[in-house]
Amino acid sequence: MRNFRTYGEVPATPSHPVLAQVGDQRARLGQRLAKIHHIVPVVSGKGGVGKSAVSANLAAALALRGFRVGAVDGDLNGPSLAAMLGVSPEPLQVTDDGVVPAVGAADVRLVATDLLLEAADTPLRWRGPPGDEFLWRGALEAGTLREFLSDVVWGDLDFLVVDLPPGTDRIQRFLEFVPDPAAVLLVTTPSRAAARVVARAEALLSSGTRFGTVMNMAAGSCPHCGGTLPLFDAPADPGRDPHTIDFWGEIPFDHRLAHATDAGRPIVLDPDASRAATALWALTDRVLTECEF
């Protein structure tokens, strides 16, 4: 029987050391992330639960607390973080050290695909031979996220908030780049469907990962009497022991949050504006506590 070597045992030739290049990519990523003290991905297995609004406000609130904060819009195909942080597309400066991030509300440093595309309604498309795109699109998306982390001049950061797209596979992909995040925020809404998907996301995280759940759209306020109005009747998950869920916060539904988000001004900049702002500040303080500040 022939004794084959593994690919890793084959000496790389000087002309195309593919394996060495992949190693260089990881080394570059490691060097960049070494200057970032706390990486906080904001995730959910389900779309439409408010991850981006939570991300934008968390990043702004941390910056207002005096920390150096960056934000990555990891939702490459549906970016919204730049708009929520009031960033208009301007040419990104390129230095020998990398691409200089844009600066948004509260001086949050930001990179996102919508800063690169022709117009706000331009979809993200990739160059490549026609057909078979399903084979390589995932690799390009992962590579772009890697470059957002490794090729941007983040400098010394206290926090990097990463808004990830819906889908548990995206969480796995991110954890390959950042296996030990400081804390993971799982955003959900009080519906069974959202809670079950979040449970799947929880199952992906290793036992040593610090994570907490944020219940967004927890309830609304009656515009007449100010009373609390539950938006959803369904319990979080009837088959789940609620005591096993580590809730880090509840954010009430508030139209002012939506307006602030659309205006590119995180609502935490006006802390007295609403119960949503108060809740987001409380969430920020909880994240700080979890990160041992």
Residues binding another protein (CB under 8 A):
13, 15-16, 18, 21-22, 24-25, 28, 89, 91-95, 97-99, 113, 115-118, 122-129, 131-132, 135-136, 139-140, 143-144, 146-148, 151-152
Q: How far is the CB of 264 from another protein (least distance, A)?
A: 19
β strands within 205-293, DSSP E: 211-216, 220-221, 228-229, 247-251
Contact by Cβ (8 Å): 198, 42: no
Residue closer to another protein by CB (options 91, 223) is 91
State the nearest-atom distance from the C-beta of 81 to another protein, in Å. 16
Could you tell me the smallest distance in angstroms from the CB atom of residue 170 to another protein? 17
Query: Three-state DSSP class for 116?
Result: coil
- Do the Cβ atoms of 248 and 283 come closer than 8 Å? yes
Q: Which is nearer to another protein, 129 or 226 (CB)?
A: 129
How far, rounded to the nearest angstrom, does the alpha carbon of residue 175 sit from its chain's CA centroid? Answer: 12
The nearer residue to another protein, 151 or 290, going by C-beta atoms, is 151
Q: How far apart are the first and last CA of the chain?
A: 60
| Least distance CB 132 / another protein (angstroms) | 5
| Shortest CB 71 distance to another protein, Å | 17
Q: Considering the complex, what minimum distance in angstroms separates the CB of residue 36 from another protein?
A: 17
CB of 30 to another protein, least distance (A): 15
Closest to 198 (Cα-Cα) out of 173, 166, 230:
166
Residue of 172, 156, 163, 168 lying closest to 199 (CA atoms): 168
Which of 134, 272 has the CB closer to another protein?
A: 134
Q: Which is nearer to another protein, 22 or 229 (CB)?
A: 22
CA pair distance 41, 261, nearest whole angstrom: 19
Instruction: Enumerate the β-bridge partners of residue 110.
Output: 71, 102
Nearer to another protein, 100 or 269 (CB): 100
Per the CB < 8 A criterion, the answer to whether 216 and 71 are in contact is no
Q: Are 138 and 128 in contact (CB under 8 A)?
A: no
Q: How far is the CB of 172 from another protein (least distance, A)?
A: 18
Residue closer to another protein (CB basis): 24 or 246: 24
Closer CB to another protein, 89 or 264, in the complex: 89
At residue 35, the 3 state secondary structure works out as coil
Residues 190, 232 contacting (CB under 8 angstroms): yes
Is 211:248 a contact under the CB 8 Å cutoff? Answer: no
